[in-house]
Chains A and B, each alone.
Chain A
Amino acid sequence: MSATAVHSLWTMAGGVTSTAPVEKFKAPVIEYTQLAPVLIVIGVAVVGVLVEAFVPRRARYYTQVFLTVVALAAAFAAVVGLAAGGYGTTKAHIAAMGAIAIDGPTLFLQGTILLTSLVAVFTFAERRLDPAAHGKHVVDSFAAQAASVPGSDSEKAAVRAGFTTTEVFPLVLFSVAGMLVFPAANDLLTLFVALEVFSLPLYLLCAVARRKRLMSQEAAVKYFLLGAFSSAFLLFGIALLYGYAGSVSYATIANVVNGSVTQIDPALADTMGNDALLLIGGAMILTGLLFKVGAVPFHMWTPDVYQGAPTPVTGFMAAATKVAAFGALLRLLYVVLPGLAWDWRPVMWAVAIITMLGGAIVAITQTDIKRLLAYSSIAHAGFILAGVIATTPDGISSVLFYLGAYSFVTVGAFAVVTLVRDAGGEATHLSKWAGLGRRSPLVAAVFAVFLLAFAGIPLTSGFSGKFAVFKAAADGGAGGLVVVGVISSAIAAFFYIRVIVLMFFSEPKADGPTVAVPSPLTMTTIAVGVAVTLVLGLAPQYFLDLASQAGVFVR
């Protein structure tokens, strides 16, 4: 770093203030209507916090559920409105002073996140699963009082008093707001802020399970520590990229990568254009995103967190986080680092391969249904990465489609998991699922549909999605990935089928779990899950069209 450069900077700055007349302060232009989905969600989340403070305990649950559902539905309507107004295609542009990109992928992913969250929130609101356990009080999946120590007197008192943690609803909304911004972020700082906004509520949500509270808290601590670690990676990467490009804006960084920027920021004369910074910074940002996606080798948190978190939270997190994180990953790779594709593609190849194989192979040994689904989600992350690597427009739209298809299957599957219960709450150990098909054929059949979709059997959404990404990958010259994907699909099929065998071909155990009869809320979640799974399997054309229309990033 040259001292003169710093010096000249100072003198220049001084010169401006001394000679030129004071410039008028330019007010930032914020396109409020285009940010409406985010604003609605975050606004209602704030209202939700106030509800906790001012509305009497009795009315809180209904108020919160109502507000949350209305907020998500309204935000979705806003997304649809924006898409209908052409913001996904012709009017796609960068909004909010370069911080947010409003384009096809943004709107598609926001719509997906909002719908998934809406469906998932129904399982949050479910209160009929454990009718006998707590006497006359209604019981949901969340701790009576999150602050009371597990097993303590204060916990017992809270349970006796019939407290419920209705704070989960505003927390979900905050999280959703972060997720809406995450794939739309058009500069690295917005990206980071969005990441934190959606992660922090999730850490909390993981910790508030009503049953198996210690496990839940352990999961939350793990998630938090590892999440913070990965955030640090991301942040460090951002700093390095700033050093490289002199800007956090996606477009500027991309230009510097391309070499189309010649002007060098004098303050960064030493570092700008230094490829080491670019490579290390890019790798660190990718690490942060791959952590959120749950790709091997950054997947370690997934099984523990999926298992420990309250199951509705798991479903929400597994679906929506994945959508948001892949959205951000896509934008980063396609908008910021396309000039670097030759460098990141081999790395991503390797990550995709070990993610597909690792997830599928380790899943075979699992004995807990939630852990099994966690490893399955890792394998799916690998499949999606195969589409990401395609670096073609087809690749983008196939990933979008896959995310939409996958998220509904996931939410539905975890909703079914909440129904199978015994005295200790949810019976997640696989051995307890034996003979479920005999005892409650409908629930088992529905779960079988979800498993078949995960396995990618034709006529389910899982197959359409898998076909789309594999086709894109093959078109994009990643035929090897397709072969690995096919092999790991075969491995994965084994453990999905093992669960089906267990449910249908094993004799029910005498002390087996009971299947709770849920309220219409959870039923809606499951029904929507099944419907989407079958519709996307049988007639995916409309949604493929939607995804391919949405498959262009604004730069």
Chain B
Amino acid sequence: MSFPLLTATAALPAIGAVATAAVPAARRTAAKWLALVFSLATLVLAGIALARFEPGGERYQLTESHAWIKDFGVRYELGVDGIGVVLMALTALLIPFVILAGWHDADPLETKSSRWRPTQGFFALILMVEAMVILSFEATDVFLFYILFEAMLIPMYFLIGGFGDRAHTGSDENAAAQRSYAAVKFLLYNLVGGLIMLAAVIGLYVVAGTFSLSEIAEARANGSLSMATSTERWLFLGFFFAFAVKAPLWPLHTWLPNAMGEATSPVAVLITAVVDKVGTFAMLRFCLQLFPEASKWATPVIVVLALISIVYGALLAVGQRDIKRLIAYASISHFGFIILGIFAMTSQGQSGATLYMVNHGISTAALMLVAGFLITRRGSRLIADYGGVQKVAPVLAGTFLIGGLATLSLPGLAPFVSEFLVLVGTFSAYPAAGVIATTGIVLAALYVLVLYQRTMTGPVKAEVQGMADLKVRELVVVLPLIALLLFLGVYPKPLTEIVNPAVQHTMSDVQKKDPQPEVEAAK
């Protein structure tokens, strides 16, 4: 038996979480380093997985399969396709930065009783989330995926509710109330989505008798499994609802601004750049693969919802006064693009959507983390409290600008490639939708540049006067992310090579071919 690489990649952060949690209360710094080391080791394993993945090979590679709960027809089955392996690598890549950026976010404010260990808890929870997210990208058993999909809510919930952003206006009590409101809202939205999915998961079992993706696909191929149209649609809706809450898609998005606003910036990155990707990933992996007919049936509605997400998210981002909420609404707009790309059902659209997941992860991480550094310095999340930062802290302002430009998909930076692909893919299938989606780009320029202008340019505000520029730890966080944005912006081929074959598989699942370009005959 070969080395279970996928299991190891997920198990390592889980072990790290336990180890970190076990560090004695006084050895806070040791806990941080331990968490960082584990996250880096995970990154190495994920890198190996990425290197061993052969883009042209089998659909699912590095597979593992063990019996687990026979009575439920559940197996512990792992395997990655090009989409899964890339997202897994993205997760492993972002977590060390999240940990580094949140280095001081969970230091206890005062010495409480010796048994209270917030720092250890914070980093252990981050690693726990990493473990579950990675495993969910690898799971090829619907039940296993569902369990992780639900279980990852719990550590996320404690991260949001237990460790709020210390830069808040108003009293501590008020902030605590808002924070727990945000955490509960996050959990309830996602739990309701998850429970509805549970009904659909059970329904799937009743229909198919198994949870294994490969077995279901095989049964479909040889005709031994056929779903009634209405059954397939109901099951599709159950799954899609859960993923749309997670992704989040308008009108199920309202938990995101609360959660991202109240959480610390690294946790906000964790939410939007890592955990939410599970939702969009699952649409590709499960909705399209398990319910191809229903997916096609639902496409018009989902495309419209995605368009609303794009425009509505961008419009609300323009109107925000709070930096983090602005980024949250921008993310809603971007998730609209991802979902649009998936359900355009063209290979460009889906490749673009997958790339978008990666690029959005990196660019949002860069923007959000720099914003977090800025907010920590000033102690306020309100845009109006800033002004002229670029004169005082030029490096901070510069990195913030690059993160912002990436968010508005400036050519030369990674998100441009993916956004372009999504738009092209959409346009070839739904021209009108492509046109409407383009307004999202225009609005993105507006909210990013206005944000930059109000905070960074202009006369230096008195409170901003003594603001320190980025420190070494912060530079270590930001610079690699920016380098990646530039690299993937200029040379996206390594990613597209891995992703494209997987997208072809998904396209064949839904039995869709790309629309042939219509060229008017030359006269």
Contacts and interface: CB of A to CB of B under 8 A. Distances in A.
Contact of B115 (A441, A494, A545): A441
Contacts of A439: 113
B188 A493 contact: yes
Nearest to A455: B191
Would you call the interface of chain B mostly helix, strand, loop, or mixed?
helix
B183 A441 contact: no
Contact of A540 (B69, B146, B158, B183): B69
Residue of A440, A467, A489, A540 with most partner-chain B CB within 10 A = A467
A486 B199 contact: yes
A482 interface: yes
Contact of B184 (A440, A452, A458, A501): A501
Nearest to B152: A458
Contacts of B187: 493, 497
B412 interface: no
Nearest to A541: B69
Interface in B290-334: none
A486 B150 CA distance: 14
Contact of B196 (A452, A486, A544): A486
A501 B161 contact: yes
Residue of B67, B146, B196, B202 with most partner-chain A CB within 10 A = B202
B147 A459 contact: yes
Interface string A477-488: 001001100110
B206 A474 contact: yes
A7 interface: no
A475 interface: yes
A548 B199 contact: no
B191 A490 contact: yes
Given A493-B188, A494-B188, A457 B202 contact: no
B180 A505 contact: yes
A468 B72 contact: yes
A504 interface: yes
Residue of A440, A459, A507 with most partner-chain B CB within 10 A = A459
Interface in B146-193: 146-148, 150-151, 153-154, 157-158, 161-162, 173, 176, 179-180, 183-184, 187-188, 191-192
Nearest to B187: A497
B198 interface: yes
B71 interface: yes
A202 to B, nearest CB: 34
B71 A470 contact: no
A337 to B, nearest CB: 26
Contacts of B70: 541, 544-545
A208 to B, nearest CB: 35
Contacts of B184: 497-498, 501
A452 B154 contact: yes
Given A490-B195, A541-B68, A457 B151 contact: yes
Contacts of A541: 67-71
A438 B161 CA distance: 13
Contacts of B487: none
Interface string B43-76: 0000000000000000000000001111110000
B112 interface: yes
Contacts of B158: 504
Would you call the interface of chain A mostly helix, strand, loop, or mixed?
helix
B203 interface: yes
A313 B427 CA distance: 68
A441 B206 contact: no
A438 B147 contact: no
A247 interface: no
B33 interface: no
A479 B146 CA distance: 19
A475 B202 CA distance: 9
A165 interface: no
A489 B206 contact: no
B116 interface: yes
Nearest to B191: A493
A489 B198 CA distance: 11
Contacts of A463: 147, 150
A548 B71 contact: yes
A458 B180 contact: no
A458 B146 contact: yes
A471 interface: yes
A506 interface: yes
Interface in A504-522: 504-507
Residue of B113, B147, B173, B196 with most partner-chain A CB within 10 A = B147
Contact of A471 (B146, B154, B188, B202): B202
B420 interface: no
Given A470-B202, A493-B191, A505 B72 contact: no
Contact of A458 (B67, B115, B150): B150
Contacts of B72: 467-468, 471, 544
Nearest to A397: B71
Interface string A58-86: 00000000000000000000000000000
Interface of A: 438-442, 452, 457-459, 463-464, 467-468, 470-471, 474-475, 479, 482-483, 486-487, 489-490, 493-494, 497-498, 501, 504-507, 539-541, 544-545, 548
Instruction: List 3 tightest A-B contacts by C-beta distance, closest first.
Output: A458-B147, A544-B71, A505-B180
15 contacts: A452-B154, A458-B147, A458-B150, A463-B150, A467-B198, A468-B71, A471-B202, A486-B196, A487-B195, A490-B192, A497-B157, A507-B173, A541-B67, A541-B71, A545-B71
Given A467-B198, A468-B72, A482-B203, 6 more contacts: A474-B202, A483-B199, A486-B195, A505-B161, A541-B69, A544-B69
Interface of B: 67-72, 112-113, 115-117, 146-148, 150-151, 153-154, 157-158, 161-162, 173, 176, 179-180, 183-184, 187-188, 191-192, 195-196, 198-199, 202-203, 205-206
